Structure 1
Amino acid sequence: MVQRFILLYPLSQIMLKPTVFIVDDDAAVRDALTLMIKQENIIVCAYDSAETFLNSYQLETLGCAIVDIRMSGMDGIELHQVLLERNILLPVIFLTGHGDIPLSVQAMKAGAVDFLTKPVIREKLVNSIKAAIHTSERLLAEKATHQDALLLLANLTDRERDVMLLAVQGHPNKHIARQLGISHRTVEIHKSKIMQKTGAINLLDLARIVHEGE
């Protein structure tokens, strides 16, 4: 048991460290950004194209991506759209030239968290990254909560789900029994099993689980 803990512990620490992904086809920009970010003791991975990044990215990584809008092949706007379509919860910061600002504003409306203009100011870069990492933490926590709720609800039977939905809407047992065509006692039995399977301590807690599982 001790040996297993020693093996797993470093892996869990790595997963908790945020990573900044730089996607830019300009080597000089990649090198400059990498140096500035590493000086903040943040892990950096740099890619020369959107395609290379997509081929290597692993889901559920804490961090953010700094993406150049103008790139050969798939551009930054297209990459951001692919991330959204794949439901990849990675906040995106766009790197733009002054003429690309209207495109950046459009992208932010679609879910990007910020945009930085070239040349990048160090203070602005660091503040933007920190804000994006906080957003990443929130998104991953919300997804984990959703998945936990789905697991709690997965073992319910169809009838138990029917009872649960009526119960969290505030309907009394007599109404639920009449609505479903079952006895009052059967409703009580179902509710007891629902609470046991979900671990809910009361109806309010059960309603929270249902909401988180939606």
Structure 2
Amino acid sequence: MSASADKELPTVYVIDDDASVREALRGLFESVRLLTETYASVQDFLASAPSNRPCCIVLDIRLPGQSGLEFQEMLAKQSDARPIVLISGHVDVQMAVRAMKAGAVDVLTKPVREQDLLEAVNRAIANDQRHRSERRARQSLLSRYATLSEREKQVMALVAAGKLNKQIAADVELTEATVKLHRGQVMRKMGAESVAQLVRLADMLRDAGGGALP
């Protein structure tokens, strides 16, 4: 298997201070062909600098040092937060609500039912893969938009607003032929095959933020 393919293999990171739990979960996840790495604490996990591949963190709520809940809330503040399934021998309502508000995929009580855990982990990995794909698509769109000249960006915004070449020419004080030239360049650089597609890309740019389009 190539290194690039290996980078895309989903991985489950298990963080639990109980060695028997770590090994039991490793066996469970590897039985369904999920790469698995185990850690005894949040500090061990952070020190290892795990690879940036699609993943899910299975995290014990009650850990020595930084608790699972505190770590989850810290990760939730990051733009590319990794999905987390929390497990604990004792889960009260307040704890579960706090975890779900911070974005936990699920909160499960030990001893965890294997099927429930596998379903939660698979759901988390699927969500992570989708979010990563969306981030790549958004970055690609922003990169293509960055190749446009200021005039091309202006023309793109006017085309997306539904204006005809003649109207755009009057607005930006160019000849209609020049507008057509800029418009063709915009379509090519943005990878749009129709005006309708260009309008969709413009909407996506607005959603992406960063002042891409007015």
**TM-score, normalising length from structure 2?**
0.85
Q: CA deviation at 1:162?
A: 1.7
> 1:79-158 counterparts in 2 under 5 A?
79-158=71-150
Query: Contact 2:11–2:37 (CA<8 Å) still a contact in 1?
Result: yes
State how far apart, in whole Å, the 2-side matches of 1:96 and 1:171 are. 59
Are the counterparts in 1 of residues 99 and 107 from structure 2 also a CA contact under 8 Å? no
Q: Which amino acid aligns with 1:195?
A: M
Match in the other structure for 2:15? 23
Structure with higher helix content: 1
Q: Which one-letter code corresponds to 2:111 in the other structure?
A: P
Correspondence for 1:62: 54
Matches within 5 A, 1:41-52: 41-52=33-44
Give the whole-Å Cα distance in 2 for the aligned partners of 1:98 and 1:128. 18
- In structure 2, distance between residues paired with 1:211 and 1:47: 43
Unpaired stretches in structure 2, ≥5 consecutive residues: 209-214
The alpha-carbon distance between structure 1 residues 195 and 126, as it changes in their structure 2 partners (threshold 3 A), is same
Matched, 1:195 2:187: yes
Q: CA deviation at 1:173?
A: 2.5
2:16/2:41 contact within 8 Å kept: yes
1:77-123: CA deviation from partner (whole Å, max 9, x where unpaired): 22223323332242111113333443233322332211111111111
Is the partner of 1:66 in helix, strand or coil?
strand
Give the deviation of 1:153 after TM superposition.
Answer: 1.2
Structure 1 residue 59: Cα displacement: 5.8
Matched to 1:190, the amino acid is H
User: SS state of the match for residue 91, structure 2?
Assistant: helix
Question: Is this contact kept in 2: 1:23–1:53, CA < 8 A?
Answer: yes
Deviates more, 1:26-35 or 1:94-103: 94-103
Letter in 2 for 1:192: G
1:94–1:104 contact (8 Å) kept in structure 2: no
**2:130 pairs with 1:176:** no
CA–CA distance in 1 between the matches of 2:110 and 2:53? 26
Letter in 2 for 1:144: R
TM-score, structure 1 as length reference? 0.85
3-state SS in 1 of match to 2:69: helix
1:34-70 Cα offsets, whole Å, 9 max, x none, are 2221222211111122232233344641121111122
With over 3 angstroms needed to count, the CA separation of the structure-2 counterparts of 1:56 and 1:211, relative to structure 1, is farther
Residue 204 of structure 1 aligns with which residue?
A: 196
RMSD over equivalenced CA pairs, Å: 2.1
Supply the distance in 2 between the matched residues of 1:66 and 1:42 (Cα, whole angstroms).
13
Q: Distance in 1 between matches of 2:203 and 2:188?
A: 18
Runs of 4+ in 1 over 6 A off after TM superposition: none
Label 1:59 to 1:100 Cα distance change in 2 as closer, same or farther (>3 A): farther
Identity of aligned residues (%): 34
* 1:4 match: none
